[in-house]
Amino acid sequence: MDQVREKPWLAHYDPGVPPEIQVPDIPLWRFLEESARRFPQNVALEFLGKTLSYQELWGLARRFAQGLKDLGVRPGDRVAIMLPNSPQFVIAFYGTLLAGGVGVNVNPLYTPRELRHQLADAGAETLVILDHLLPRYLEVEKEVPVKRVVVTGIKDFLPFPKNLLYPLKAKRDGLPLGFPKREGFHAFAELLKRPPAEPHVPDPEDLALLQYTGGTTGLSKGAMLTHRNLVANVLQIDAWDPTSKDLVGKGVMLGALPFFHVYGMTVAMNYGLFSGYKIVLLPRPEIKAIVEAIEKHQVTHFPGVPTLYVAFNNFPGIERRDLKSVRACISGSAPLPLEVAERFERLTGAKLVEGYGLTEASPVTHCNPLYGERRLGSVGLPFPGVDAKVVDEEGKELPPGEVGELAVKGPNVMKGYWNRPEETQKTLKDGWLFTGDLAKMDEDGYFYIVDRKKDMIIAGGYNIYPREVEEVLYQHEAVQEAAVVGVPDPYRGETVAAFLVLKPEYQGKVSEKDIERFCRQNLAAYKVPRIIQFRESLPKSSVGKILRRELREEFAKKQG
């Protein structure tokens, strides 16, 4: 009873969910090895008609590991992976771990400017990249520490005859194929011809992944996630649904969430491989492909973000589709409206619950019960093994109902920020991760996020930091002042709005379209402002600080 009083959420766990989990001292790749041993002939990956069994996937990951070793990758070296969801992503990530390397996930939407910062910050000497994306790397190759580039094409893992037809389509669409035939460039397919490597066995506290997260300073920081962190979060997800045990080796995971994002990597890829599921890979989370994949492959697990579930619910003719295979879905990255969850459940018969997490926690820390009570507006209860509290500005724990900063602790919490000891010190205190999110807890241990990290925008599941967008806007010769805020959007949750004061000599000479075009050259598409307004002045505090909150409120009133 003491434990329940101390952690009131334990009393509301579904039957069979343990209060704690045991985290074994194993590397993350052990999950793939174990599934290959238990289910060698089961399909591990399905990609546009091509399948790989668990035995084949395990073998290819080991071959890739040997290829990396032969190229000079040593334990602890960072290997950047800039790929969409594809067999190559899974092989490259697990191959990196098997060689003793540290994966660095790179968003394929990044512009050359964003790519340069991340490769330089991580000190990545190896880059695994899709041929279509290579021109962006070539723009910055002289400014980054990369020594070797491994290039793959979508066609490398397409079935016959798609593999022959794809290059023709790519040429028609103007997409670059192949890579420069010079020193330092290597074909992904060639690395897979090596003999399988003996796996490198790391210490569980060794780094497995540098996952970059935007910073309020505008510069993204690398969260250092260890093998132990990532193993723990997979086991926590597994413990949350005791009924999933009957699906081990039989379930089907939809891999629509991008794996370069830690949510997709942990919930879809790592948990899917741990469970021996067939993972249906979608290079892009397009709703038509999602609906068709669920029906064709009888998908049992569909992790997503609210915008995907909204699009799913509104897909033409959705009521006539066979969707009853879906069992369980966790929604993350943004608030999930109750009516969206309820319609989804009526269409599929599945359980759809809202959870909460952040990059620095591998990422999931909270979730509503799958079968018990889910509370409106709540992100649910802390996961097994996760402790959580709401604290005031001095770090003192607040009683239920009071709003403060959410702090979490558990085996899934990162080691710190890569090469940023001061940031680490601010965020990690006595093992507690201070999330920067304002929250409250009710008497029963259900948590509610009241406000997000002060100014962060979450659009379609992507984190966007206003400061970064503002820095790009300030680079435009016509911009005198810029403020970027998130405003409500019925589809993306939030969208990016930019309020600008132009220099007097440019007023009337620069259009919103000009600004948008400039942003598209310097920012990933999802960060580009969808709303651009010119103003004579911006609201400021007595010390001259631009008041973003006032801009948000003014915008809401005008819309209202």
Question: Tell me: the pLDDT tens digits for 503-530?
Answer: 989 999 999 999 999 999 999 999 999 9
DSSP secondary structure letter of residue 157: G
Name the maximum alpha-carbon separation found in the chain: 71
Answer for the pair 33, 413: CB distance below 8 angstroms, yes or no. Answer: no
Question: Of 203, 227, 243, which residue sits at a domain end?
Answer: 203
Instruction: With respect to residue 388, please indicate whether it lies within any of the assigned structural domains.
Output: no
Q: Which residue has the tokens 């997000």?
A: 452
Pairing relationship of beta strands 351-357 and 364-367 according to DSSP bridges = antiparallel
Q: Is 477 within the bounds of a domain?
A: yes
Output phi, psi for 49, to 5 deg.
Answer: 100, -15
CB contact at 8 A, 268 and 241: no
Residue 66 falls inside a structural domain: yes
* Integer Cα distance of 93 and 411 in angstroms: 22
Q: Is residue 163 part of a domain?
A: yes
Is the omega angle on the peptide bond into residue 159 within 30 degrees of 0, that is, cis? Answer: no
Closest listed residue to residue 273, CA positions, set 226, 241, 242, 238: 238
pLDDT in tens, 440-457: 999 999 999 876 656 778
Q: Which tokens sit at 394? A: 């001095």
Structure tokens at 289: 């492909």
User: String of b and e for 107-140 (b: at least 16 CB within 10 Å)?
Assistant: bbbbbbbbbbbbbebbbbbbbbbbbbbbebbeeb
Under 8 Å between Cβ of 101 and 67:
no
Count the alpha carbons within 13 Å of 298 in the hemisphere toward its beta carbon: 5
Q: Which residues contact 497 (CB under 8 A, 6 or more apart)?
A: 484, 485, 486, 487, 529, 530, 531, 532, 533, 551, 555
Q: Could you give the angle at which helices 54-71 and 87-98 cross, rounded to 10 degrees? A: 60
Domain that holds residue 92: 54-203
The answer to whether position 480 is within a domain reads yes
Q: With beta carbons less than 8 A apart as the criterion, state whether 111 and 136 touch.
A: yes
Could you tell me if residue 225 is inside a domain?
no
Please report the DSSP string for 389-446 in residue order: EEE-TTSPBPPTT--EEEEEESTTS-SEETT-HHHHHHHEETTEEEEEEEEEE-TTS-
User: What is the layout of strands, in order, in the sheet containing 148-152?
Assistant: 185-187, 148-152, 126-130, 78-82, 102-105, 207-213, 221-226, 416-417
468 occurs within a structural domain: yes
Instruction: Give pLDDT, residue 3.
Output: 54
Measured between alpha carbons, how far is 19 from 364 in angstroms, rounded to an integer? 16
Residues in the chain: 560
**Among 550, 498, 488, 544, CA closest to 520:** 498
Regions of the chain short of the pLDDT cut 70: 1-5, 214-218, 451-454, 541-545, 560
* Per-residue tokens: 37: 């041993």
User: Which of 186, 203, 220 delimits the end of a domain?
Assistant: 203
- Residue 245 forms part of a structural domain: no
Torsion of CA 268, 269, 271, 273, to 10 degrees: 130
Which of 270, 280, 278, 271 shows the shortest CA–CA distance to 251? Answer: 278
Output the pLDDT for position 216. Answer: 40
CATH number assigned to the domain comprising residue 194: 3.40.50.980
CATH number of domain containing 513: 3.30.300.30
Strands 102-105 and 78-82: parallel
- Structurally, how many domains does the chain consist of? 2
Choosing from 203, 222, 239, the residue where a domain stops is 203
